[in-house]
Amino acid sequence: MLNHVSIGVRNTAKTKAFYDAVLKPLGYSCLSEGEGSLGYGDKSVVLWISQTDKPVPADMASGLHFCFDAPSRKSVEAFHAAALAQGGKDNGQPGLRADYGDNYFAAFAIDPDGYRIEAYCGQES
């Protein structure tokens, strides 16, 4: 349904270090890097990040977040650990979310710009 999502950040160098570490356990990498822009995905860019002077202000009450597919529960755990190690904030420890589904294993974090992110695995392994 979606081809890609774009977000704006204040500092792409800082953001690159964060997303390189956070997305690596999920199998995603920076596929495109230009002056002031980054593109992440596995085979094609799905997340575009651009430097801007006016990123959207973080708003915990907005409901906005980005969820990344994860190949395993261990990769969800690694995503969360990397987010915290790179200056992100905890927004939900890795674990089952029975209220979302029987096998909904996820972790939640907030990136350094205030975007809420999630890694999700629907498999038991």
Proportion of the chain above pLDDT 90, given as a percent: 87
Give the structural domain span for 75. 5-52+65-121
Contact between residue 105 and residue 73 where contact means Cβ atoms under 8 Å apart: yes
In a domain? residue 57: no
In a domain, 35, yes or no: yes
Average pLDDT over residues 20-37: 97
57 pLDDT above the threshold of 90: no
Fill in the DSSP letter of residue 15. Answer: H
Looking at residue 7, what is its pLDDT?
Answer: 96
CA distance 123 to 104: 8
Is 59 inside any structural domain?
no
CATH number of the domain that 11 lies in? Answer: 3.10.180.10
pLDDT tens-place string over residues 61-115:
998 999 999 999 999 999 999 999 999 999 999 999 999 999 999 999 999 999 9
Q: Is 100 part of a structural domain of the chain?
A: yes
pLDDT at 125 over 70: no
Give the pLDDT confidence score for residue 124 in this predicted structure. Answer: 83
- Taking the C-alpha atoms of residue 87 and residue 69, their distance in angstroms, rounded to an integer, is 22
Q: For the chain, what is the mean pLDDT?
A: 95
| Angstrom distances, CA of residue 85 to CA of 18, 53, 100 | 9, 26, 27
Q: Is residue 91 part of a domain?
A: yes
Assess if residue 69 is contained within a domain. yes
User: Confidence band (pLDDT; 50, 70, 90) for 56?
Assistant: confident
Domain count for the chain, please give it.
1
Which pLDDT does position 64 carry in this prediction? Answer: 92
Sequence-separated (6 or more) residues with CB below 8 Å from residue 97: 104, 105, 106
Answer yes or no: is 94 within a domain.
yes
